[in-house]
Amino acid sequence: MFEPAERLKSVKISASAAMTRKVREMRAQGVKIVGLSSGEPDFASPRHAIEAAYKAALAGDTKYPPQDGTRALKEAVQRKFKRENGLDYALDEIMISNGSKQIMFGATLASVNPGDEVIIPAPGWISYADQVRVAGGVPVSVSCPENNHFKLRPADLDAAITPRTKWVVLNFPNNPTGAICSRAEMKALAEVLLKHPQVLVMADEIYEHLTYDGKEFCSIAEVEPRLKERTLTVNGASKAYAMTGWRIGYAGGPKAMIAAMINMQGQATGGVSTVGQAAVAAALDGPQDIIASHVADYQNRRDLVVGWLREAKGITCHLPEGAFYVFPNIAGCIGKTTKGGRRIETDTDFVMALLEERQVATVQGAAYGMSPYFRISYATDLESLREGCKRIREFCADLT
């Protein structure tokens, strides 16, 4: 009889993945769902990237790839880091992986020993903590409250660091809040980290290009060059180029760290799809105007969604500065009863009742480490957003 390994007993299925699966099941039963739970751009991948993949396949670039990535893509990533982030990485300080998620998983498994602590600002992406648990580490949540615009306060970071701290995770623009750190705010966090030379920095920059209202993105390894030798700069093609299904992530970091991650990747999956790498090389080196077009669309959607949600009874909604999520506060809905007779005690109750009574899929804030909130992705078409927000307003209006 099969028994899961001990390491899996503290690891739960991602709440967003669970919601996506439930939506698929309901749709298969003929239920029309407005899906606002998935952080997946609804735009097409760049045509020149698709053509590059096709040409690579026709040219016979279909054999086993190098475990660390093709030279062509690593060179494109090298140029990208230097051009856009002011970071100069040698080729043996760069690796390619099956999405940025595998980059971070590999880094965690390659470095975290049982009992090591990893500081994760909350709210934060669901998988950070579970990856740490799989490695036998201890995730340490540090609250980033709404009254500080969901940003990590230097004093709170400093207080959370102990002799067991191995990593600090920084994700700005943030999933699920859209928070961005200014250069001055990033510098203040860097000053704390300089006091603790044993701590590594995992900079998840996957939403780098998705910033609004003139807000500027900055990489901590560029803001404070003295941290570069202990920072893993993580990125990928999924969000900026709408290439989620191509599964290409990349990272720059210290040579010894990258070598350990390549070893780990070689045991897990080997190299990464050759045609996918060709596509992303073309995306990184090709015209970048597609990003500006996407950002303009996202900002328009953000403004509309925030406006619509602010009309909902019992909901308050901040204005996110980046990424493609809003993270509304539903404190005014807690303790009430839905039209269908369900008591709303938690944000999980809220999102499940919203799905089953109004057929709108979202994700509870508890999954990201902060309640009572819920996450909406506006990386979908405007009509779905309009209809979804209309149903949310109606759902809230019916609460008693």
**Domain 6-44+290-397 is in which class?**
alpha beta
Q: What is the DSSP letter of 297?
A: H
- State the chain's mean pLDDT as an integer: 96
**Domain 47-285 is in which class?**
alpha beta
**Residue 288, class by beta-carbon neighbours within 10 Å (0-12 exposed, 13-18 middle, 19+ buried)?**
middle
Q: What does the pLDDT read at residue 1?
A: 87
Would you say residue 68 has pLDDT above 80? yes
**Residue 7, class by beta-carbon neighbours within 10 Å (0-12 exposed, 13-18 middle, 19+ buried)?**
exposed
Would you say residue 17 has pLDDT above 80? no
For residue 68, the SS3 value is coil
Show the tokens assigned to 292. 């500006």
Q: What does the pLDDT read at residue 80?
A: 98
What's the start-to-end Cα distance of the chain, in Å?
Answer: 48
Q: What is the pLDDT of residues 131-176, one digit of tens each?
A: 999 999 999 999 999 999 999 999 999 999 999 999 999 999 999 9
Domain parsing of the chain, residue ranges? 6-44+290-397, 47-285
30-34, 223-227, 390-394: least confident range? 30-34
**Residue 356, class by beta-carbon neighbours within 10 Å (0-12 exposed, 13-18 middle, 19+ buried)?**
middle
Tokens 């720059």 belong to which residue?
252
Confidence label for 105 from pLDDT (cuts 50, 70 and 90):
very high
Rounded Cα distance between 148 and 179, Å, is 10
Question: For residues 5 and 373, which has the higher predicted lDDT (pLDDT)?
Answer: 373
Q: What is the pLDDT of residues 317-360, one digit of tens each?
A: 999 999 999 999 999 999 999 999 999 999 999 999 999 999 99
CA nearest 272: which of 230, 232, 233, 237?
A: 237
Q: What does the pLDDT read at residue 400?
A: 96
In sequence order, which ranges of 359-400 are alpha helices (DSSP H)?
382-397
Confidence label for 21 from pLDDT (cuts 50, 70 and 90):
confident
Count CB-CB contacts under 10 A for residue 194.
12
Would you say residue 12 has pLDDT above 80? no
Confidence label for 19 from pLDDT (cuts 50, 70 and 90):
confident
Mean pLDDT of 217-226: 98
Rounded Cα distance between 183 and 222, Å, is 10
Confidence label for 119 from pLDDT (cuts 50, 70 and 90):
very high
Angle at 212 between CA 210 and CA 214, to 5 degrees: 120
Indicate the Cα dihedral angle 367, 373, 378, 384, nearest 10°: 100
Beta bridge partners of 136: none
For residue 98, the SS3 value is coil
Which residue type does 330 have?
A: I
